[in-house]
Structure 1
Amino acid sequence: MLVRLLYASRAIDPACSAIEDILSQSRQFNPGSGITGILCYGGGIFLQAIEGGRNAVSELYGHIQKDPRHKDVVLLHYEEISERRFGGWTMGQVNMSKVNTSILLKYAERPELDPYAVSGKVSLALLEELMATASIIGRA
């Protein structure tokens, strides 16, 4: 059974290269586990959707909750799915520096990434729009 999980977290050290480490680990680990997804990072906040088998996704989320690079980990959305939306990426990355602020304003009060201030469904809609507008880099 396929599931999709969406979570937000804050970087322990927003200035560090945690995003590159996370992407590198994801791209090595995820193919063997059947995990696909997308990672968005901006303003010290991670927004990530992961898809795959229920057990694999649950296990990965458990690791994320214990990962010392994250704090304030919050589950935003979880659902059983019939097909993947982010199946083309072992872990895609959103380049927030190239995102048009009008896209962010469409889903939030201010033109910044803040999944803590909106619903999980709104955050998922934002990720889908970022994907549709080719804001995804690192299609590994």
Structure 2
Amino acid sequence: MLVRMLYASRATAPVDVETLHAILKASRAHNPKAGITGVLCSTDSLYLQVLEGGRAAVNALYLRIARDPRHAEVTLLGYEEIAERRFAGWSMGQVNLARLNPALMLKYSETAMLDPYAVSGRASMALFDELVATASVVGQG
């Protein structure tokens, strides 16, 4: 059974380029074996991620993330059984925040800043869908 999970967490240390590349490299190495796909969006202080795959695999990954010392305030924003994946093309895609239009953020939140703690999980998922549709996700494979 396929599921889709959306979570947010606060970074315990600033997310620099090296940290982000290490996370993406590990995700792209391990996720295909587990049948997990998804997209990661991060700023220097938070993570917002969609994970898709089998229930057991996605749940196990979420538990590892929740125990990871790089994450604090890990918050489940959405979890649903799905018939098909939305992000099948990415073992772990990355949102290119440099290409993010502030008007798009305003469409889903009170400010142009990415803050998944201030909006509904449904709004965050709609934002991800639009990011994919506007080619703001990079790092296929």
Q: TM-score range by the shorter chain?
A: over 0.9
Alpha-carbon distance in structure 1 between the residues aligned to 2:36 and 2:105: 27
Distance 2:15 2:116 in 1: 20
Q: Tell me the alpha carbon deviations over residues 50-87 of structure 1, each in whole angstroms, 9 at most, x when there is no partner.
A: 00000000000000000111111000000000000000
Aligned to 1:30: 31
Q: How many pairs are equivalent?
A: 140
Runs of 4+ in 1 over 6 A off after TM superposition: none
Aligned to 1:53: 54
Q: Secondary structure at the match of 1:20?
A: helix
Amino acid at match of 1:14: P
AA in 1 matched with 2:84: E
1:7-18 equivalent positions in 2, closer than 5 A: 7-16=7-16, 17-18=18-19
Amino acid of the residue matched to residue 61 of structure 1?
Y
1:40 is paired with a residue whose SS is strand
Structure 1 contact 38–86 (Cα < 8 Å) conserved: yes
- Counterpart of 1:107 in structure 2 is 108
Q: Any stretches of 5+ residues in structure 1 without a counterpart?
A: none
Quick one: structure 1 residues 15 and 49, their matched pair in 2 at CA, closer, same or farther if it must change by over 3 Å? Answer: closer
Percent of residue pairs identical:
56
Deviates more, 1:13-22 or 1:32-41: 13-22
Counterpart CA distance in 1 for 2:20 and 2:67 is 16
Alignment match, 1:83: 84
Task: List runs of 5+ in structure 2 lacking aligned partners.
Answer: none
